[in-house]
Amino acid sequence: MSSKWNSHGLPFLPGNTFQDVTKSAFHRPQTLEYKNGYALPRRPSVGIGHDPLLSDMLSQQEIDALSFEITDQTYGSLDQRVYEDFIPAHVALDKKLLRFFAYFSEDILYSPEEDYRVRPVVIYYYLEDDSMCIVEPAVKNSGLPQGKRLKRQRLPKNERGDHYQWKDLNVGMDLEVYGVKYRITDCDAFTSEFMASEGIVLNDPEPMPEDPYIKRRHVVQPSYTTPSAFDETYNFLSMDGKVDKFYYHKNSTLQQIWFSRRLPPELFVSRSSAPEG
Query: 233 by DSSP, 3-state: which?
Result: helix
Q: Can you tell me whether residue 253 is helix, strand or coil?
A: strand
Each of the 277 residues of the chain gets a pLDDT tens digit; together they read 444 544 556 677 777 777 777 888 888 888 888 888 888 998 888 888 878 776 666 665 666 666 655 555 566 666 778 878 888 877 888 888 999 999 999 888 888 778 888 999 999 999 988 899 999 998 877 777 788 899 999 999 888 888 999 999 999 999 999 989 999 999 999 999 999 998 899 999 999 998 888 887 777 666 666 666 667 777 777 777 777 676 666 665 555 444 445 555 555 555 655 555 5
CB-based contact 149:121 (threshold 8 Å)? yes
Label residue 64 left, alpha or beta by phi (over 0 means left) and psi (-120 to 50 means alpha).
alpha
Domains of the chain, with CATH numbers? 1-69 (no CATH), 91-216 (2.30.29.170), 232-268 (no CATH)
